[in-house]
Structure 1
Amino acid sequence: MWTRADKDAVGTAYSSASQIWFTVVGGIVTEIYFPDVDTPQIRDFQLMFTDGVSFFHDAQRDFTHTCEPIDARAPAYRLTSTAIGQPYTVIQDIIASADSSCLLVRTRLVSDHPDLLGRLKVYALLAPHLQGQGGDNSGYVAVTTDGKKLVARHADYWLALNASCGLGHTSCGFVGVNDGWTDIIGNRRLPIWDYNCAQNGNIALMAEIARGSDTEFVLGLGFCQNREGMSSQPNPAMVMVREALSYPFDQESPPGQLQAYISDWVAARAATPGFQPVPKTTGDNDRLFNMSHNILIAHEDKNSLGALVASLSIPWGYNNQDGNSGYHLVWPRDMCQSATALLAAGEKDLPLRALMFLATNQSPDGGFHQNFFINGVPYWDGTQLDEISYPIILAYHLSREGALQNYNPKRLVLAAAGALIAKGPMTQEERWEENEGYSPSTLASNIAGLICAADLAEHSWGDPVTAQFLREHADFLESHLETWCVTTAGSLVAGINEYYIRILPTQVKSVGSNRNPSLPEDPNTATVYLKNIPQGGAFPARDVVDGGFQELVRLGIRSADDPIIKNTINVIDAVLKDDLPNGPCYRRYNHDGYGQGNRGEAFGPQGVGRPWPLLTGERAHYEVAAGRDAKPYLRYLEAFAGARGLLAEQLWNAPDLLDVQPPLIKGGPTGSAMPLAWAHAEYIKLVRSVSDGQVFDRLDVVAERYQKPHPKSLLEVWNFDRQFLSMAAGKTARIPLTAPFRLRWTNDGWNTWQDITTTTTAVGIYYVDLPTQAAQAGSSLTFTFFWLSSQTWQGSNFSINLHP
Structure 2
Amino acid sequence: MTPILPALPLLLVATLAVAPAAPATGAAPGAPGVDQRYLPADKSGLLTSRTRASRVWATVQREGGLGEIFYPTAGGPSARSLTFAVTSRGGLSKATVRTEQRDGLRFRQTFAGPDWRLTADYATDPARSTVLAALSFAAPPGHDLYAIYDPALGNSRGGDSGRTAGGALLATDGAVSSALTGPFAATSSGFAGVSDGRTDLRDGRMDWHWSSAAAGNLVQTAKLRGHHPTLALGFAGSAAGALATARRSLAEGFGKVARSYAYGWNRYLAGLGAPPGSLHGTAQRKLFRTSAMILAASEDKTHPGAYVAAPAAPWAFGTDDPSGPYHLVWSRDLYQIATGLIAAGDRAGANRALDFLFGVQQKADGSFPQNSQVDGTPVWGGLQLDEVALPIVLAYQLGRGDAWPGIKRAADFLVAYPGAPFTPQERWENQSGYSPNTIATAIAGLVCAASVARSHGDPAAARRYLATADSWRARVRSWTVTSTGPYSRKPYFLRLTKDGDPDAGTTYAIGDGGPAAVDQRRVVDPGFLDLVRLGVLPAADPDVVNSLAVVDAQLGVRTPRGFFWHRASFDGFGEQLDGSPWEYGEPDGSLVSRGRAWPLLSGERGEYEIAAGDPRAAAARLAAMTRATGPGGMLPEQVWDRTAPAGGPGFAPGTPTFSATPLAWTHAQFLRLARNLAERRITEQPAVVADRYLGRR
| TM-score (ref. length: structure 2) | 0.90
C-alpha distance after superposition, 1:353-402 (max 9, x if no partner): 11111112210100111011112222211000000111101100110xxx
Query: Which residue of the partner structure matches residue 598 of structure 2?
Result: 612
> Residue by residue, what CA displacement relative to the aligned partner does 1:13-67 show, whole Å, maximum 9, x if unpaired?
111111011001111100000010011011111111112x32455xxxx211111
Q: What is aligned with 2:328?
A: 329
Structure 2 counterpart of 1:153, from 163, 172, 193: 172
Between the aligned partners of 2:424 and 2:463, the Cα distance in structure 1 is: 26
SS at match of 2:394: helix
Residues 648 and 109 (structure 1), Cα distance of their counterparts in 2 relative to 1, 3 Å cut: same
Q: 1:305, 1:357 within 8 Å by CA — same for their partners in 2?
A: yes
Alpha-carbon distance in structure 2 between the residues aligned to 1:195 and 1:122: 18
Letter in 2 for 1:12: T
Out of 250, 254, 259, which is 1:245 matched to?
250
Q: Contact 1:504–1:523 (CA<8 Å) still a contact in 2?
A: no
2: CA distance between counterparts of 1:182 and 1:652? 34
CA distance in 1: counterparts of 2:185 and 2:279, whole angstroms = 54
Distance of aligned partners of 1:155 and 1:319 in 2 relative to their CA distance in 1, 3 Å threshold:
closer
Unaligned residue ranges in structure 1 (runs of 5+): 230-234, 251-255, 507-519, 710-804
Gaps of 5+ in 2: 1-36, 587-592
Q: 1:713-792 to 2 correspondence within 5 Å?
A: none
More helix by share: 2
CA separation of 1:704 and 1:258: change in aligned 2, threshold 3 A: same
Q: Deviations over 1:555-601 (max 9, x none)?
A: 00000100000010111011110001101000011111111111112
State the match for 1:572 in structure 2: 551
Q: Which among 690, 701, 704 is matched to residue 677 of structure 2?
A: 690
> Could you tell me whether the CA contact under 8 Å between 1:341 and 1:681 is conserved in 2?
yes
Asked whether the equivalents of residues 488 and 524 of structure 1 are also in contact (C-alpha less than 8 Å), the reply is no
Q: Cα–Cα, structure 1 residues 659 and 135, in superposed 2: closer, same or farther, change >3 Å?
A: farther
Instruction: State how 1:226-237 maps to structure 2 within 5 Å.
Output: 226=238, 235-237=240-242
The counterpart of 1:416, out of the listed 399, 406, 410, is: 410
Question: After alignment, is 638-647 or 386-395 more displaced?
Answer: 638-647
The total of aligned residue pairs comes to 647
Whether the 8 Å contact between 1:657 and 1:663 is mirrored in structure 2 is: no
Q: Alpha-carbon deviations, 1:187-230, whole Å to 9, x = none?
A: x131111111111111100111122xxx211100011123xx5x
Which amino acid letter does the alignment assign opposite residue 527 of structure 1? T
CA distance in 1, matches of 2:549, 2:332: 27
Asked whether 1:503 is paired with 2:496, we answer yes
Alpha-carbon offset, residue 275 of structure 1: 5.6
CA distance in 1, matches of 2:353, 2:279: 31
Q: C-alpha displacement at 1:281, in angstroms?
A: 4.7
Tell me, what secondary structure is at the counterpart of 1:194? strand
- List aligned pairs for 1:490-639, cutoff 5 A: 490-493=485-488, 496-506=489-499, 521-533=501-513, 537-605=516-584, 606=586, 607-628=593-614, 629=616, 630-639=618-627
Q: Does 1:120 align with 2:143?
A: yes
Where does residue 741 of structure 1 map in the other structure?
A: none
Aligned mates of 2:290, 2:337 — CA distance in 1 = 14
Contact 1:169–1:194, Cα closer than 8 Å, also in 2: yes
Residue of structure 2 in register with 1:715 after alignment: none
1:455 aligns with 2:451: yes
For the 8 Å contact 1:275–1:344, the answer to whether it is kept is: no
Q: 2:633 aligns with which of 632, 640, 645?
A: 645
* Contact 2:106–2:262 (8 Å) recurs in 1: yes
- Residue in 2 that maps onto 1:20: 56
- Paired with 2:78 and 2:477, the residues of 1 have a C-alpha distance of 49
Residue 796 of structure 1 corresponds to: none
What letter corresponds to residue 116 of structure 2 in structure 1?
A: Y
Equivalent position SS for 2:272: coil
Alignment of 1:300-339 (within 5 A): 300-316=299-315, 320-339=319-338
CA RMSD in angstroms, aligned pairs only: 1.9
Would the aligned equivalents of 1:18 and 1:102 in 2 still touch at CA under 8 Å? yes
Cα 1:242–1:317, aligned 2, differ >3 Å: closer, same or farther?
A: farther
| 1:182 match | 199
Q: 1:631 to 1:659 in 2, by over 3 A?
A: closer
3-state SS in 2 of match to 1:65: strand
Aligned to 1:749: none
Measured in 2, the distance between the counterparts of 1:472 and 1:240 equals: 59
Question: Which amino acid in the other structure matches residue 540 of structure 1?
Answer: D
Change (3 A) 1:462 1:329: same
More contact order relative to length (CA 8 Å, sep ≥ 6): 2
Tell me the amino acid that sits aligned with residue 670 of structure 2.
Y
CA distance in structure 2 between the partners assigned to 1:176 and 1:445 by the alignment: 49
Query: Take 1:469 and 1:669, find their aligned partners in 2: how far apart are those partners?
Result: 46
> How many angstroms does 1:283 deviate by?
6.6
Partner Cα separation in structure 1 for residue 275 and residue 217 of structure 2: 48
TM-score normalised per structure 1? 0.78
Relative to structure 1, the CA distance from residue 317 to residue 291 in structure 2 (aligned partners, 3 Å threshold; closer, same or farther) is farther
Letter in 1 for 2:428: W
Cross-structure match for 2:116: 88
Hey, what's the Cα distance between the residues in 1 that align with 2:384 and 2:355? Answer: 20
Given that 1:282 and 1:635 are in contact with CA atoms closer than 8 Å, whether structure 2 keeps it comes out as no
Contact 2:315 2:658 in 1 (8 A): yes
Name the CA distance, whole Å, in 2 between partners of 1:276 and 1:350. 17
